[in-house]
Amino acid sequence: MSQHSCVSLKVILYRGLPVFYLLIATAEAILAFARLLSLSGGSNLIRDNAQVGAGFVLDCISSGTAILTGILIYVSLAIFVLSCICVICTGKRSGTCCSQQICQPAILRFVTLNCNFPFYVTRPKNRFRHRMIFLVSSSILRLVAVIIYATVKSGDIDGRQSQVALLCGISVLCPLCMILLDIFRYRIWWHYRPSCDDDRSYQRLSPKHVRFLPYHLLGDNRSMIVPGNQPCINQNTCTKRELEHIMIFHSSKYKPQLRWTELSNSDREKGIYVGFHCTTPEAAVSIAHSDFRINNKPPQMLGFGVYFARSIKGTERKARHSGATICAEVQMGKVKEVTWSQLYTVSNSRRWWKDYDTVYYVHANPNRDEFCVKDPSQILRWVIVVNEAYDANVQRFRLNHEFENTQCGWV
């Protein structure tokens, strides 16, 4: 299968997730009601046999969501049928037909109890964890119920427990299938790959590469009025140095650290500094799969090496290339600080390599400081964002629209 076909299949599967969740939830609800009818039909097994009763309690706990989902599905279908009857009887057609209304993403999420909190926009890993805890717990409880049903002595009752055990065992497949769907959804968000990387998606990424970020997750897109999707409350006093946090919860003007010359002695001894690098999408993809490369082509104001600025805006203003932004954690090593009058000592050369690891340019304007490292091995880890103009996958997967149709703040 070609890379293009593979991406197209992923797009189809991802955009169809609400329908897949609905189908699985419907099957689980049907199996839950079938078990309930089997246990309550004829003599009441739940009342007459303590072991069956214990299994039923565990079964109900693990299937409570399925039963509620089934009720919601039936109510939704009833509303749908009544709406269609009203349209047929009155002869009036609304702007949106009934089938479109019932297939709205918010409706599908509601009947499958699949939350869409704004909190999850920037925290897909949290959504995955919460779902995993719930689904794995349900699967374990249901497996225990299967064992209890299956080990009831057939002489004690009329044998219906075998049928219930079979139905319960089949129903375990439902949460397992949902787990697979959740893993797929999580990988699309957390292990995101831009469209410019589609042709190389089969190649191994550098161990220094943390992740690609979809461009719509950048901090400039956070909202002060949407709970859970707000920027970092600490703003410029934030002490977090996680690269994802810096890119997602802070604006493009944000500088994670003080100027190198203003850092405390202890921070300078640690030598870890966060820098921003702007380049082309093609170069960014190459970096993600290998490493940074030194620029040896003059003119180079701080000499030959890899250049970084203190903020996204800072690197966009200085960079010769554009299309992708890289936020990196850099080991500064021994630093040579230079001012405007001292640039001639480092420009277009590698003479400073012998005694220093990094050149830091102390600009008259603090917002325009930049630094150059001599060795890509000093760059410890990074995250990459490809600009909207060069990345079609956000639109293909509709990631930037997934939370726009959220209703009541959670569904």
What confidence tens digit (pLDDT) does each residue in 284-297 have?
A: 999 999 999 998 88
pLDDT at 133: 93
Question: Strands across the sheet with 272-279, in order?
Answer: 209-213, 379-386, 324-331, 272-279, 306-309, 370-373, 358-361, 335-338
The DSSP H or E segment spanning 121 is none
Residue 215 within a domain: yes
Looking at residue 95, its pLDDT comes to 46
Same domain assignment for residues 201 and 315:
yes
Report the C-alpha gap between 263 and 257 in whole angstroms: 8
Q: Is the bond preceding residue 299 a cis peptide, omega within 30 degrees? A: yes
| Burial letters 257-295, b for 16+ CB under 10 A, else e | eeebeebeeeeeeebebbbbbbbbbebbbbbbeebbeee
pLDDT tens figures, 355-398: 999 999 999 999 999 999 999 999 999 999 999 999 999 999 99
Return the top range by mean pLDDT from 23-27, 73-77, 203-207.
203-207
Q: Find where tokens 């400039």 sit.
A: 220
Angle between helices 50-90 and 160-171 (to 10 degrees): 60
199 and 316 in a single domain? The answer is yes
Whether residue 103 has pLDDT greater than 70 = no
**Domain match, 108 and 215 both:** no
Q: Residue 204's pLDDT band (boundaries 50, 70, 90)?
A: very high
At 35-74, the pLDDT tens digits run: 888 877 656 666 777 888 888 889 988 888 777 777 777 7
Strand partners, 361: 338, 370
Any domain includes 270:
yes
Among 193, 224, 244, the domain boundary falls at: 193
User: Same domain for 249 and 375?
Assistant: yes
Q: Which of 35-39, 96-100, 204-208, 237-241 has the lowest mean pLDDT?
A: 96-100
pLDDT value at 113 more than 70:
no
pLDDT at 379: 98
Q: Is the pLDDT of residue 158 over 80?
A: no
Please indicate, yes or no, whether residues 143 and 211 belong to a single structural domain of this protein.
no
Query: Is residue 277 located within the same domain as residue 132?
Result: no
Is 403 domain-assigned?
Answer: no
Output the pLDDT for position 188.
95
Question: Both 65 and 81 in a single domain?
Answer: yes
Residue with tokens 């917002």: 367
End position of a domain, from candidates 139, 161, 193: 193
For residues 174 and 200, state if they share a domain: no
Predicted local confidence at residue 248, as pLDDT = 97
CA distance 226 to 205: 35
Quick one: average pLDDT of 280-285?
A: 97
Residues 6+ apart with CB under 8 A from 44: none
Most confident of 130-134, 152-156, 200-204: 130-134
Residues 225 and 181 in one domain: no
In this structure, is residue 199 part of a structural domain?
yes
Instruction: With respect to residue 158, please indicate whether it lies within any of the assigned structural domains.
Output: yes
- Quote the pTM value: 0.85
Q: Is residue 404 part of a domain?
A: no
CA 95 from centre of chain: 34
Per the CB < 8 A criterion, the answer to whether 34 and 232 are in contact is: no
Tell whether 180 is covered by a domain.
yes
Query: Looking at the domain assignment, is residue 399 inside a domain?
Result: no
Confidence check: pLDDT of 411 > 70: no
Q: Same domain for 54 and 143?
A: yes
CA dist list (Å): 169 to 159, 172, 324:
16, 5, 50
Q: Residues 6 or more apart from 123 whose CB is under 8 A from it?
A: none
User: Domain with 337 in it: what CATH number?
Assistant: 3.90.228
On whether both 215 and 176 belong to a single domain, the answer is no
Mean pLDDT, the chain, integer: 88
Q: Is residue 151 scored above 80 in pLDDT?
A: yes
**Domain total in the chain:** 2
Same domain, 79 and 201: no
Task: Give yes or no for residue 94 having a pLDDT over 60.
Answer: no
Domain housing 237: 195-390
